[in-house]
């Protein structure tokens, strides 16, 4: 028991604590002169106050066995009294597995309802394991993705869940090799063999086209994003394949790709509707585009004359009048699956990379069941 002077052979500025039992003890290294009150207590402070060694405090904090219950209680009391907080950064620096109990989540946009629902699912999974998540938005910008992932690397996250934006992910190879698992979600990685959880994009638009054709439509327009985005490409493929499967041709004049925003989609839909030979149905490749298309339909007062089916469900879709028919995949399902996969890797699973594909569902609500009308 060290009552005064120095701890080990490290020189300390003496600081006295008074414990319940009236024992006083020494604490806090203080080479630089600063007001002690503004310093955070360290394990050494706790050790001194509890009258035990540094290692014992470490054992208690990490819940390791080999400490008597009485000692542990004293340590816990000291922690409480000093408002001590373990430093996971310093801890991870020295620990063998270098784990930081932190994961990175690379999203398209944390404020997109689909992405934020996915975020919440990942957060909940992480919390169960006492892990925190760094989330960030890339806005479909590959450069920002690299930048953000670089920042995650610099913080030594234990793993990452990524909605990819970049056209090439081979730059992540060293990271994977060093043992940091990366799970791709919503879209598969490019030029990299890694785990992924995606939705059946092609199947979704195929299903949507079939639904519209079954409803009598033969002139179906398409609103899609840049074909550089894997999801967008697959969805467009489903549209083409769907038409082909029903013996219909793709009419390039009613296909609008490369859209980026609600406004883009609204403009594109407005153009299509203004045309003399306008489509009898609109198929939108993404939640935001569906909203834009809906606005255009309302603006042109053809809400119940031109059908609309959207990919991705969105909040309030069922409250609109008419409610919006969508092809939906559950972001929570994607997020949970991705997290499960990531944690399995963190737990040491080294089996070949997996490609999980979640099914999509058609949710008929009204807007997609409008029969075709001409003029």
Residues within the interface to a second copy (CB under 8 A): 32, 37-40, 83, 85-90, 92-93, 96, 100, 102, 109-111, 113, 116-117, 119-120, 123, 127, 130, 132-137, 150-156, 174, 177-179, 291, 294-295, 298, 314-316, 319-321
Cβ distance 265 to 225 under 8 Å? no
d(CA 108, CA 66): 47
d(CA 119, CA 107): 8
* 96 vs 319 by CB, closer to DNA: 96
- Judged by beta carbon distances under 5 to 8 A according to partner kind, the member of a second copy, DNA, none in contact with residue 54 is DNA
* 39 vs 261 by CB, closer to DNA: 39
* 72 vs 327 by CB, closer to DNA: 72
The pair of structure tokens assigned to 64 is: 């390791």
CB of 96 to DNA, least distance (A): 4
CB of 214 to a second copy, least distance (A): 27
CB of 122 to a second copy, least distance (A): 9
What are the percentages of helix, strand and coil residues in the chain, rounded to 5? 40, 15, 45
Cβ distance 89 to 144 under 8 Å? no
Cβ distance 345 to 180 under 8 Å? no
d(CA 65, CA 55): 12
In the beta sheet, which residues pair with residue 106? 136, 162
Neighbours of 266 (CB within 10 A): 22
- Judged by beta carbon distances under 5 to 8 A according to partner kind, the member of a second copy, DNA, none in contact with residue 66 is DNA
Query: Strand runs (DSSP E) across the chain, as ranges?
Result: 17-18, 24-25, 102-107, 132-137, 159-162, 182-186, 195-199, 220-225, 255-259, 281-284, 307-311, 325-328, 355-358, 361-363
CB of 18 to a second copy, least distance (A): 19
* 8 vs 174 by CB, closer to DNA: 8
d(CA 2, CA 47): 10
**Is residue 101 a contact point for DNA (CB under 7 A)?**
no
- Judged by beta carbon distances under 5 to 8 A according to partner kind, the member of DNA, a second copy, none in contact with residue 94 is DNA
Please, which of residues 43-72 interact with DNA by CB under 7 A? 43-44, 52-56, 58-59, 61-62, 65-68, 70-72
CB of 146 to a second copy, least distance (A): 12
Site string for DNA, 201-220 (x = CB under 7 A): --------------------
β-strands 17-18, 24-25: how paired? antiparallel
- Chain-centre distance for alpha carbon 114: 10
* 24 vs 91 by CB, closer to DNA: 91
Please, which of residues 164-193 interact with DNA by CB under 7 A? none
d(CA 5, CA 340): 51
CB of 85 to DNA, least distance (A): 7
Q: Which stretch binds DNA (CB under 7 A): 42-50, 115-123, 240-248, 267-275?
A: 42-50
Q: Which stretch binds DNA (CB under 7 A): 95-103, 114-122, 240-248, 351-359?
A: 95-103
d(CA 289, CA 296): 11
d(CA 318, CA 365): 7
d(CA 45, CA 29): 9
Tell which one of 34, 83, 97, 249 touches DNA (CB under 7 A). Answer: 97
**Is residue 231 a contact point for DNA (CB under 7 A)?**
no
DSSP H or E run through 174? helix 173-177
* 175 vs 234 by CB, closer to a second copy: 175
* 55 vs 261 by CB, closer to DNA: 55
CB of 14 to a second copy, least distance (A): 21
Binding site for DNA (CB under 7 A): 1-2, 7-11, 29, 31, 39-40, 42-44, 52-56, 58-59, 61-62, 65-68, 70-72, 86-87, 90-91, 93-97
């Amino acid at each position: 028991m060290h009552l005064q002077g120095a701890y080990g052979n490290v020189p300390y500025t003496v600081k006295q604590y008074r414990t319940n039992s009236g024992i006083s003890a020494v604490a806090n290294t203080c080479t630089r002169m600063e007001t002690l009150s503004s310093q955070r207590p360290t394990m050494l402070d706790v050790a001194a106050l509890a009258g035990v060694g540094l290692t014992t405090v470490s054992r208690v904090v990490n819940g390791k066995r080999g400490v008597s219950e009485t000692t542990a209680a004293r340590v816990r009391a000291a922690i409480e009294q000093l408002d001590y907080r373990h430093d996971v950064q310093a801890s991870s620096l020295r620990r063998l597995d270098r784990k930081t109990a932190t994961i990175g989540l690379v999203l398209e946009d944390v404020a997109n309802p689909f992405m934020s629902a996915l975020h919440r699912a990942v957060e909940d999974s992480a919390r169960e394991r006492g892990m925190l998540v760094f989330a960030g938005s890339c806005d479909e910008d590959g450069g920002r993705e690299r930048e953000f992932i670089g920042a995650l690397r610099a913080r030594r996250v234990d793993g990452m869940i990524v909605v990819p934006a970049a056209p090439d992910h081979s730059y992540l190879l060293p990271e994977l090799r060093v043992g940091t698992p990366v799970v791709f979600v919503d879209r598969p990685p490019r030029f990299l063999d890694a785990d992924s959880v995606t939705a059946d994009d092609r199947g979704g638009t195929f299903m949507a086209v079939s639904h519209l054709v079954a409803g009598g439509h033969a002139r179906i327009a398409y609103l899609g994003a840049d074909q550089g985005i894997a999801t967008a490409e697959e969805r467009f493929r489903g549209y083409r394949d769907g038409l082909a499967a029903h013996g219909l041709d793709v009419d390039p004049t009613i296909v609008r790709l490369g859209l980026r925003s609600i406004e883009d989609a609204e403009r594109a839909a407005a153009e299509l509707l203004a045309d003399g030979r306008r489509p009898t149905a609109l198929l939108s490749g993404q939640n935001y585009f569906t909203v834009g298309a809906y606005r255009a339909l309302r603006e042109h007062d053809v809400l119940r004359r031109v059908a609309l089916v959207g990919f991705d469900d969105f909040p309030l879709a069922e409250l609109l009048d008419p409610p919006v028919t969508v092809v939906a995949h559950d972001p929570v399902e994607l997020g949970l699956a991705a997290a499960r996969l990531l944690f399995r890797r963190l737990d040491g699973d080294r089996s070949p990379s997996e490609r999980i594909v979640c099914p999509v569902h058609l949710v008929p609500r009204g807007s997609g069941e409008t029969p075709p009308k001409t003029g």
